[in-house]
Amino acid sequence: MLQPLPPAMGRLATALGLALVFLMVPPTPSEARTPPNVLVVAQIAEPKSLDPQTVTAVNDFRILMNLYDGLVRYRPGSLEVEPALAESWEISDDGTEYTFHLREGITFHDGTPFDADAVVFTFDRMLDEEHPYHDTGPFPLSFFFGSVVNVEALDPNTVRFTLAEPYAPFLSNLAYPTGLIVSPAAVREHGKEFGRNPSGTGAFQFGEWRANERVVVERNPDYWEGAPPLEAVVFRPITDANTRVAEMLSGGIDLMVEVPPDALGRFSGSPDYSVHEQVGPHVWFLILNMKEGPTSDQRVRQAINYAIDKQALVENVLQGTAEVAAGPVAPAFSWAYNEDLEPYPYDPELARDLIKEAGYEGASLTFYVTEGGSGMLDPIAMGTAIQADLEAVGLEVEIETYEWNTFLGKVNPGLEGKADMAEMAWMTNDPDTLPFLTLRTGAFPAEGGFNSGYYSNPEVDRLLEQARRSTDRDERARLYYEMQEIVHEDAPWAFVANWKQNAVTSERVEGFGLEPSFFLLLDDVAKP
Amino acid sequence: MWLFLGKRLFAIVPILLGLSILVFAMMALIPGDPATAILGSYATPENVARLNEQLGLDRPLPQQYLIWAGNLLQGDLGRSYALNRPVAHEVFERFGATLILAGSALLLCAFFGLLAGVVAAVRQFRWTDRIVTLVVLVGISTPSFWLGLLMIMLFAVHLQWLPASGMYAAYGGGDLPDLLRHLAMPAVTLAVVATGVIARLTRTAMLEVLRQDYIRTARAKGVPERRVIYRHAFKAALVTVIPVLGIQAGFVIGGAVYIETVFQWPGIGRMLVNAISTRDLLLVQGGVLVVAVSYVLFNLAADILQALLDPRLR
């Protein structure tokens, strides 16, 4: 039986279809273009807070570094410190007293003056549990300043830090976001909500934060180094990498960081975009279990280093977004990095011989791999490639894959009785941090460190302790050089890659460059 | 009617109680904790212990649950560890965004689903029916996140008609036309699958009704065809379709997770995924609670609507 379609229904369908089409027609043709002098930046996640002492993620640091200043900062293009809010400083001969002379005439965005009291307030709030505003925390990275016993204002423009013992990374920790100076008046006014109502001395001042949509910061016309060219910067959280790429291609954003390797090719050949690359203080490595099993034998550990085709990994799996690592110190720490150290060459023959010599041919290894995590690059693909390389030289490798937080919960307490190898990556702000927390006998998991593979060499312990206490940079460099040679030979890790961070900007953006610190500094960027 | 309503609403309480205990237990069972998630590389046992103490996570689990439940009774959902802001602010903001997205998707799918179903049934076995059935089948079988990506490639990257992601323009904007432009692609994508389901169901229900004796009687009495289809057949078919609309509402909110990720819509689905991976217990609790309540309410609304249409159910 055939039924005639009521004509009204057909007309209605047409009308609705047309309405839908009109909804999609743009009101103006330049819809997608971002306004001049406003830079739209794609972030990889929603920021947690804009209170510099309470956050731990690079994603948050990228905003914070534009809102606040520290007493010192990294010199552009390097990881060495230079004066910022402090014009100069003196270090006592025993290395335990740092006296800073502050720049005068600077005000916070809320109009209150920057002075020695603000510095004391910033550090006391974080370090002193009795401080009235300590409850605005928690302050997860306060241990960076764990050696500080007292912060004292000598006069309105002079402040002195007293340390319990000499601690060489102190200055570079001050340049880190955890050391940025906050406005005491704003903390007093907003309490726990200061992180959403930030006030610093930076080139940009806080505009608005619409949760999960955008954070807007606006030009600080009174910036002590001169007002920045940009009127405003908009940080948009776009967690999905494909969507970030689509936004860049459609003109909805001007700058994106952490471009997926697959997408780089779309931008690198085009005159409409600039691709920026910069090696950062990052090391990607395998922790090898030295307490038991095949990896307790130095020959097997070296064999693993020889067997992994690192060049193929960085070129094929990571598509050129990383470089081959030679040792435990990232090359970005140029003054501390031992240039003479060559990466273990790819030599499967030698690896096979070493394994045979050690009597571990056909031995089976358990390998912890993570699905993804901070700085882990492409961990599953990398883990699988490494598995294939090791099987080619006669080792059976069984991969166990875990979600990032589960993975950390398994690896951090130590690999004993569980696994022979585990992936790991670190990004740090001082060459001291990574080896000190992961390669000393005193950093075994039971002692509260991250030496999950139980590497222990008294000589390395001595060198690291000594380097941490020395305030003379050349002497520190010499000690780190020596440490790197020993660690390279002992091979407690398989050294794999140093990540090159990347970013893409549209052709309208001028004066942008990436920093080795992984921070995003926008005070000299323009977009006419 | 009021008794029925009251009973149904009261039944939510044990559901929510059970659900909150379940979520609490599951979050405690999965490995990893918020302190480790916050500290990342710096999660030494010492640092973790100190942060746990500051977050109040060093207390026994039942005590933590009771504190949470006690605060809830006073209308306090707690504070998110990872976002460092009150859970209630975050959850209601994000749920509002999801409601806008899911609500418009539901409107679209209800309208087009019913329309397509009726057209197909009335024109059974003719080319209109075949085309509608084919389109519906393609719609049901298309993975929505993939459709979303295709739409972004076409409308945002190539044609540059619509913004690729987000809820409002990055700078300026914020008005209704701005919202509609951002809403168009995600809402249509989200509606596609549900439209197919509703269309197929409506077609079957309509065919069933059109074979009934009273339809023949109506036609025999000379009632105009349009009136037969709208007033007699369609109304009867709706009784079967409406509870499915209620269930689809649940699916649409659930399916919104993918769409929210692809289009960076600041909704509650994406919030829950993030909260689980950062082990943000209180945020997960708050989010699940709100989604569960809304699910129950949607189904309740469908039941009420059905009862209004069909006196036998009252």
pLDDT tens profile A476-491: 999 999 999 999 999 9
Mean pLDDT, rounded, for A498-513? 92
Express the helix, strand and coil content of chain B in percent, nearest 5 each. Answer: 80, 0, 20
B45 vs A236, A250, A448: nearest CB: A448
Beta strand A232-237 pairing with A38-43? parallel
Q: Is B127 on the interface with A (CB under 8 A)?
A: no
8 A C-beta contact, residue A195 and residue A453? no
CA angle (A486 as vertex; A485, A492 as ends), nearest 5: 115
Q: What's the pLDDT at B255?
A: 76
Does the global pTM surpass 0.90?
no
Contact (CB<8Å) B155/A4: no
Q: Within 10 Å of residue B29's Cβ, how many Cβ atoms?
A: 7
Q: Which residue ranges make up each domain of chain B? A: 2-73, 95-313
Q: Is A241 on the interface with B (CB under 8 A)?
A: no
- Alpha-helix runs per DSSP H in A219-360: 241-249, 261-268, 298-307, 310-312, 348-358
8 A C-beta contact, residue A318 and residue A425? no
Q: Residue A386: is its pLDDT beyond 90?
A: yes
Q: Within 10 Å of residue A290's Cβ, how many Cβ atoms?
A: 22
* Tens of pLDDT, residues A311-346: 999 999 998 889 999 999 999 998 999 999 999 999
Between the alpha carbon of residue A172 and those of residues A63, B76, B314, the distances in Å are 19, 41, 74
Q: Is A408 on the interface with B (CB under 8 A)?
A: yes
Q: Report the distance separating Cα A505 and Cα A356, nearest Å.
A: 51
Mean pLDDT, rounded, for A108-136? 94
Q: Is A54 on the interface with B (CB under 8 A)?
A: yes
Q: What's the pLDDT at B1?
A: 67
DSSP letters for A97-166: EEEEEEPSS-B-TTSPBP-HHHHHHHHHHHH-TTSTTGGG---TTGGGGTTEEEEEEEETTEEEEEESS-
A250 vs B85, B156, B278: nearest CB: B156
User: Dihedral of the CA atoms A174, A502, A237, A141 (nearest 10)?
Assistant: -20
A211 vs B93, B188, B277: nearest CB: B93
Largest CA distance in chain B: 86
B164 vs A5, A243, A375: nearest CB: A243
The burial of B143, by beta-carbon neighbours within 10 Å (0-12 exposed, 13-18 middle, 19 or more buried), is given as exposed
Mean pLDDT, rounded, for A487-499? 95
- Looking at the DSSP assignment, which residues form a beta bridge with residue A234? A40, A216
Q: What's the pLDDT at A459?
A: 96
Q: Which residue has the higher pLDDT, B248 or A68?
A: A68
Q: Tell me the average confidence (pLDDT) per consecutive run of 10 residues in chain B, 314 residues long.
A: 77 84 83 76 76 80 85 83 83 90 90 88 84 86 87 88 86 82 92 86 87 85 82 81 79 80 88 85 88 82 78 66
Q: What's the pLDDT at A59?
A: 87
Q: What's the pLDDT at B157?
A: 87
Q: Pick from B210, B206, B236: which is nearest to B311 by CA?
A: B236
User: Which residues touch A374 (CB under 8 Å, ≥6 apart)?
Assistant: A57, A58, A404, A425, A427, B40, B41
Q: Is A40 on the interface with B (CB under 8 A)?
A: yes
Q: Pick from B283, B205, B193, B187: which is nearest to B247 by CA?
A: B193
Mean pLDDT, rounded, for A354-381? 91
Contact (CB<8Å) A138/B85: no
- Looking at the DSSP assignment, which residues form a beta bridge with residue B79? B86
Q: What's the pLDDT at A15?
A: 46
Kindly report the average pLDDT of chain A as a whole number: 89
Contact (CB<8Å) A211/B124: no
Residue A40 structure tokens: 């739209």
* Tens of pLDDT, residues A180-216: 999 999 999 999 899 999 999 999 999 999 888 899 9
Q: Is the peptide bond before A138 cis (omega within 30 degrees of 0)?
A: yes
Calculate the CA B171 to chain-centre distance. 29
Q: What's the pLDDT at B291?
A: 86
Residue B136 structure tokens: 């519906």
Q: Residue A12: is its pLDDT beyond 50?
A: no
Between the alpha carbon of residue A439 and those of residues A147, A422, A448, A457, B36, the distances in Å are 20, 15, 13, 8, 21
Q: Report the distance separating Cα A50 and Cα A73, nearest Å.
A: 18
Q: Report the distance separating Cα A498 and Cα A327, nearest Å.
A: 10
Q: Report the distance separating Cα A98 and Cα A164, nearest Å.
A: 12
Q: What's the pLDDT at B52?
A: 82
Residue the block writes with tokens 């009204």: A8
Q: Is A227 on the interface with B (CB under 8 A)?
A: no
Q: Pick from A161, A154, A41: which is nearest to B170 by CA?
A: A41
Nearest CA in chain A to B261: A240
Percent pLDDT > 70 in chain A is 94
The burial of A269, by beta-carbon neighbours within 10 Å (0-12 exposed, 13-18 middle, 19 or more buried), is given as exposed
Do you know the residue count of chain A?
528
Q: Report the distance separating Cα A331 and Cα A282, nearest Å.
A: 9
Q: Which residues of B touch A243 (CB under 8 A)?
A: 152, 164-165, 261-264
- Looking at the DSSP assignment, which residues form a beta bridge with residue A396? A364
Residue A412 structure tokens: 């951090």
Q: Which residues of B touch A445 (CB under 8 A)?
A: 45
Q: Residue A10: is its pLDDT beyond 60?
A: no
Express the helix, strand and coil content of chain A in percent, nearest 5 each. Answer: 35, 20, 45
Q: What's the pLDDT at A498?
A: 94
Q: Pick from A285, A281, A56, A424: which is nearest to B37 by CA?
A: A56
Q: Residue A25: is its pLDDT beyond 60?
A: no
Q: What CATH homologous superfamily does B95-313 map to?
A: MetI-like (1.10.3720.10)
Calculate the CA A439 to chain-centre distance. 20
Q: Report the distance separating Cα A126 and Cα A121, nearest Å.
A: 9
Q: Residue A494: is its pLDDT beyond 50?
A: yes
Beta strand A493-506 pairing with A214-219? unpaired
Q: Is A140 on the interface with B (CB under 8 A)?
A: yes
Domains of chain A with CATH codes: 1-59+202-254+508-528 (3.40.190.10), 69-185 (3.90.76.10), 282-500 (3.10.105.10)
Q: Report the distance separating Cα A84 and Cα A103, nearest Å.
A: 8
Q: Report the distance separating Cα A76 and Cα B81, nearest Å.
A: 34
Contact (CB<8Å) A9/B31: no
